Structure 1
């Protein structure tokens, strides 16, 4: 029955007892209710458009807010379900106006026939009142325009699955899923506290399986409450089973409590889409990773990125897709399940496989292109045809940013290819991941990916297998597994030579040189790096030439040829600058800093290292940054700035551990031990020296073991255990001579001479000190020469 004029209307449905959370959103709505006009009093209609995906709790929030605000709107509260997305036909606004006018007491015979006249009569009834309207489940802006009041004092709360962008005066409020604490609270309030009593991790898993979606949480809670024999664990097992195999049988059947059905809720939104949007929605469920951009979506649908982005934006407007950042889109987990079910029903398996093949090819080709752009050491170009549409990745900064942004998607794509036994995609995606995993880590994950890729590549073309072996060898070398690295690189070299692939041959020779350098076989390193340099020069490959010069410079440094080392590094630096390869420039600067520090030119060394550090940070290369910090820490220590030295080394240690570089970790520990020794913290020095030495022995870095033994022996001697120190120096001497490490050999001899001086064996002391001096003079190490000469003079005086 219609109410008489002047009678207060209250059409609000019952507020839910289990309303939970939404404190921030509710505060926004309450604030809107009190917004004044320009003159300080309410002068315009205040409208809030609440949008969000189906089941996210839009109606619950609007109704809860309306009940809280009842006293602020004493002239009435109106409510209508517009059925914009519903099993039934959307409500005609003219019919809704008839109901409102009758509720205000207008006789049916007096209600105008035309919608516009009805809207005018409705606005007249609301004029001068403080009335609250809840227009629930709106299907479009057109459906609600005639239902809006015309003068101030009223509040309109609109809910819709669509983003009503055409309502210029509305305050948009997009509703997301619940925070985890609120999701748990909602689930427990429905299930009743006694039924939901359990450990927090299990509750967290259940609300995660519900996607923190309020409707899914309510259904799951109601099911648990109604199934008295079920435990929380049993519910979790059932929800988990629905996601166990998305391709075959995963669906939303677990979210049906006899009344509410999440599948139906989502399907209503899906059926409201146009054909292109429906296809895109279904195909997005094929994306292995967490999100996608327009290029990836275009690859899926075999269209262009602009067309794909238009469709993606339409899905966002329907709240069936989340735009997590400009141009990046993600499906909610439960919507992904629904889309997957639809795809399995509607789209033939062959078409889905073809779409997935396009997507994996797109990811692998772009990742390999970006890796070629940023690599310091040359990489082979991507195999196979380029995607029809791909981002421009020729700039190193853009290429690195793309790889990092897409890393979760690239890893997920690799996982899909690997578990689906798609060998070609497994190897191609691993090749695309190689550079970013090398610089950013984590090391164990990188090794896992490339070991599996090498296995998959065995069934493919020999060149593909050699490429996979080369990447695997490189990653093993970075992880400190030198013998295993050589075991991968040597067969790669044989394959490249059999194929006459000079480029691949030179790349592997460079890598073998790195392995030999790191185990202390410096002559062996030069034996492979020099032919690599020659091949790259013959090929006109300037990037490869610079990389070979860089490697040769490091070998010359370790054998005491400081002028030759500086010459090689300066040559590499010139080429890298000409090519605009900033990572290579920074690496060459770091190595130059090490050379200049060794000959005592500390200001020039600091300048080179600081320039390199700035570049590494600018380009976001943590591995290079950590190497540089290790060298910078040693330089600061040599110049007596021990706090700065320790700070640099601690930061390097943190980065090396994060990316999984055991070699780098050992080097940082070694240099940190030297700082602690120099500052008098001998017990602290022993601790880190022992850890460093242990890592070098574990990874088989024989040359670095000799280096570490020298420093460890010096600390032991400072603690007064001279016999043990002598034994350590003698062990180091054997290794350093075996590995042709002249500088470290001299340090071992000097340490042994110091021991003999301590015990009064002057003749033996002089013999060892003279041998050390001869090496230092040959190497041109002026500071070390002066120090050793002073000790020899003291020995001569003491022996008189």
Structure 2
């Protein structure tokens, strides 16, 4: 009778569903049949429950409500919580909650939801909060089990967990099978058709969870794990990341006091940044502040800023960031733990696989596999692929602190130095390739750092421009490698690497990096008595300070470098030093002295085959001829410079030659030819990302337009070039461009604009005078 009534109700429901407006009699018949079916269903269930032949002993199903309370200071996660809640509930009510038809989106509700992320990120708190939010949709019970699968813990076995679950669901102990498979089948039978919410916290792996899943679509299982558990069929993984900045500050305020945090907002920002926005770390920081009402946030922020003591500060009661990280690390094999530590040698914000390959002296494929293991263990983060398909990784800040701490304790100094030497050697190879692309034909003293030959190489051959773009992704790591070498007392490798970065820093006007690194290297070389390293560094600093207009300092450094090179017998290295001094004297207006140094530089370059210095010396001598009113002689010298750069493939040097050719043609009055040369030069500068060179060309084109009676075009060029020089911090060329703008505004009768620019120039000249200890050198725009 039940089957007949059910079938009739289903048939009538189908007819009603097909009709836009069913007649009253049809609705009445459908309701009557449905009512009969419901009565029969209740009667049959009653009979079954009281029939000892059909109902096993102990089959009563008590409702369980095991969710722990929501964390009192649960903060933020509003967007993530809303999205996960909607995902868990299918964005509509369920068909099994009533007799109506399914709502839109119900079929999309997952049976398993995996919340995954690193230790301390708040997965458990989020799962419990989510459980409370969706609990009304699961009236047959809410179950919570801590599987204790976090690294370093003794995980609960699925066999034991199933016994506990079956007892919670009303099974008699005597009826629970001993075998794991039998227990899993019994669990699926018991939960069939039940509207259950099950939270399996701290799952270790897919196998840890697989036997604990109900066999019904009416239940929802929320799993938390450090891994996304990709092998868990039907699971929807949701990554739980660190907090947003405002959420972290709000959490700190809930624990330490909102008024206290608001009163020291800047210090609060520093604290949560030192915590890496990790919820566990912010909780500990807040708890420590709450227990010490007399502490200022600024004082605590200073303590956390010390990288070597930060992890020690983030510990209170049973909460400990160091312990949380160590659980994941200690669960790895010795080889993976060693890799985790050695990657901290250079304290870099991000890195490719190559440094690990060098540190461990292993093939590329093996290094990639180790990196992936570290990512799966939540000890590294995969960031992205660079434009050439190579993956890049990073530590979370606190994880990096822990890696550096264990590196110092567990890896012998000899092994650290050997690994760092291989990393620096790799960086020297990469920086040397970039230098050859930016400055082919340049001279550097012979390498003193032993080369490292990788067992296998990652990557493919790239065009020069693409190779430089790839090097740009490695540049920050290279800077960190210099600092690491200095910290390890390896002054010679540090000096060699810093020197090979100069071509890239020059092309991209990275003057702050250039100066900071070279000054540190200079101190180390002097401390260690490394005269070659000292000479090279002084020469590079002399070039930088000449570009910055610090001419007296550049002159002193240049002459000191010449003396050291002469003492060491490094005559070829003196060529670029002499050329830089010649250019310095030319800028200062000492033309005869400039010419003498440039001719000496040219002679040394020709004698020792230093092609690049030969090309540059010819350029500078041509510039002197233009200043002296001899543009034709300048063009003759520039044609020789062009040939040198074409023979060596130095396109950037060729770009600067074209730039000065434009000046010569402009001096001759051949404006069309001058414009073509400037545009050719600009194309090359843009090709190499040389914004300073491109801006210099733009200013020259502006001057050309101004002379040709095109004030609007000139104004546009000057304004654009001035913006670039401001962005690069090139105050000399800001000043020269402002001088040109003042002249243009005066010519066009814009007195107010001219005065405004003059005020800006006065302030800039004051700062330049303090830096160079003299007036702004004369220089043609």
Q: Normalized against structure 1, the TM-score is what?
A: 0.79
Q: Secondary structure at the match of 2:472?
A: helix
Q: What's the CA shift for 1:537?
A: 4.2
Q: Secondary structure at the match of 1:253?
A: helix
Question: Is residue 156 of structure 1 aligned with residue 215 of structure 2?
Answer: no
More divergent stretch after superposition (627-636 vs 108-117): 108-117
- Measured against aligned partners, the alpha-carbon deviations of 1:192-221 in whole angstroms (never above 9, x if no partner) come to 335545321111112122222111111222
Cα root mean square deviation, aligned: 3.3
- Measured against aligned partners, the alpha-carbon deviations of 1:441-471 in whole angstroms (never above 9, x if no partner) come to 4535533433443343345454333322211
Q: What's the CA shift for 1:674?
A: 2.5
Contact 1:414 1:426 in 2 (8 A): yes
Query: Equivalent residue for 1:467?
Result: 536
More divergent stretch after superposition (268-277 vs 604-613): 604-613
Query: Equivalent residue for 2:409?
Result: 345
Question: Is residue 13 of structure 1 aligned with residue 13 of structure 2?
Answer: no
Question: Is residue 583 of structure 1 aligned with residue 652 of structure 2?
Answer: yes
Partner residue of 2:702 out of 618, 633, 640: 633
Q: What's the CA shift for 1:29?
A: 0.9
Q: Secondary structure at the match of 2:224?
A: strand
Query: Equivalent residue for 2:355?
Result: 296
CA distance in 1: counterparts of 2:746 and 2:602, whole angstroms = 41
Contact 1:85 1:272 in 2 (8 A): no
Partner residue of 2:340 out of 264, 267, 281: 281
Query: Equivalent residue for 2:381?
Result: 322
Q: Secondary structure at the match of 1:100?
A: helix
CA distance in 2: counterparts of 1:649 and 1:151, whole angstroms = 72
Partner residue of 2:144 out of 79, 84, 101: 79
More divergent stretch after superposition (36-45 vs 229-238): 36-45
Distance 1:182 1:553, change over 3 A: same
Question: Is residue 674 of structure 1 aligned with residue 743 of structure 2?
Answer: yes
- Mapping for residues 297-446 of structure 1, pairs under 5 Å: 297-326=356-385, 327-364=391-428, 366-375=430-439, 378-380=442-444, 382-389=447-454, 396-398=464-466, 400-418=468-486, 422-446=490-514
CA distance in 2: counterparts of 1:123 and 1:473, whole angstroms = 78
Distance 1:417 1:198, change over 3 A: farther
Query: Equivalent residue for 2:722?
Result: 653
Contact 1:519 1:700 in 2 (8 A): no
Partner residue of 1:70 out of 110, 115, 135: 135
Partner residue of 2:324 out of 248, 265, 268: 265
Contact 1:372 1:379 in 2 (8 A): no
CA distance in 1: counterparts of 2:429 and 2:286, whole angstroms = 46
Question: Is residue 596 of structure 1 aligned with residue 665 of structure 2?
Answer: yes
Query: Equivalent residue for 2:548?
Result: 479
Distance 1:121 1:632, change over 3 A: farther
CA distance in 2: counterparts of 1:385 and 1:296, whole angstroms = 16
CA distance in 2: counterparts of 1:697 and 1:341, whole angstroms = 46
- Mind listing any 5+ residue stretches in structure 1 that lack a counterpart? 709-800
CA distance in 2: counterparts of 1:453 and 1:637, whole angstroms = 45
CA distance in 2: counterparts of 1:38 and 1:80, whole angstroms = 31
CA distance in 1: counterparts of 2:500 and 2:463, whole angstroms = 16
Query: Equivalent residue for 2:583?
Result: 514
Distance 1:194 1:505, change over 3 A: closer
CA distance in 2: counterparts of 1:706 and 1:584, whole angstroms = 20
Q: Secondary structure at the match of 1:69?
A: helix
- Measured against aligned partners, the alpha-carbon deviations of 1:503-534 in whole angstroms (never above 9, x if no partner) come to 31322232222212212233433333344345
- Mapping for residues 495-510 of structure 1, pairs under 5 Å: 495-497=564-566, 499-510=568-579
Q: What's the CA shift for 1:45?
A: 3.8
Contact 2:662 2:677 in 1 (8 A): yes
- Measured against aligned partners, the alpha-carbon deviations of 1:720-744 in whole angstroms (never above 9, x if no partner) come to xxxxxxxxxxxxxxxxxxxxxxxxx
Question: Is residue 176 of structure 1 aligned with residue 244 of structure 2?
Answer: no
Partner residue of 2:311 out of 243, 252, 276: 252
Query: Equivalent residue for 2:162?
Result: 97
Q: What's the CA shift for 1:44?
A: 7.0
Query: Equivalent residue for 1:764?
Result: none
Q: Secondary structure at the match of 2:198?
A: strand
Query: Equivalent residue for 2:269?
Result: 204
Query: Equivalent residue for 1:622?
Result: 691
CA distance in 2: counterparts of 1:620 and 1:320, whole angstroms = 35
Q: Secondary structure at the match of 2:682?
A: helix
CA distance in 2: counterparts of 1:379 and 1:657, whole angstroms = 32
Partner residue of 1:141 out of 199, 206, 215: 206
CA distance in 2: counterparts of 1:24 and 1:591, whole angstroms = 58
Q: Secondary structure at the match of 1:167?
A: coil
Distance 1:582 1:128, change over 3 A: farther
Distance 1:485 1:539, change over 3 A: same
Distance 1:391 1:273, change over 3 A: closer
Q: What's the CA shift for 1:569?
A: 3.2
Contact 1:365 1:432 in 2 (8 A): no
Q: What's the CA shift for 1:273?
A: 0.9
Q: Secondary structure at the match of 1:173?
A: strand
Q: What's the CA shift for 1:261?
A: 2.5
Partner residue of 2:84 out of 26, 29, 33: 29
Q: Secondary structure at the match of 1:50?
A: strand
Contact 1:697 1:705 in 2 (8 A): no
- Measured against aligned partners, the alpha-carbon deviations of 1:533-555 in whole angstroms (never above 9, x if no partner) come to 45444545544443333333322
Q: What's the CA shift for 1:86?
A: 5.2
CA distance in 2: counterparts of 1:126 and 1:400, whole angstroms = 61
Q: Normalized against structure 2, the TM-score is what?
A: 0.81
Q: Secondary structure at the match of 1:42?
A: helix
More divergent stretch after superposition (485-494 vs 529-538): 529-538
- Measured against aligned partners, the alpha-carbon deviations of 1:609-645 in whole angstroms (never above 9, x if no partner) come to 2333233233222221221222122223233443333
CA distance in 1: counterparts of 2:507 and 2:664, whole angstroms = 24
Query: Equivalent residue for 1:447?
Result: 515
CA distance in 1: counterparts of 2:609 and 2:299, whole angstroms = 66
Distance 1:229 1:449, change over 3 A: closer
CA distance in 1: counterparts of 2:259 and 2:59, whole angstroms = 48
Query: Equivalent residue for 2:14?
Result: none
More divergent stretch after superposition (211-220 vs 32-41): 32-41
Distance 1:707 1:568, change over 3 A: closer
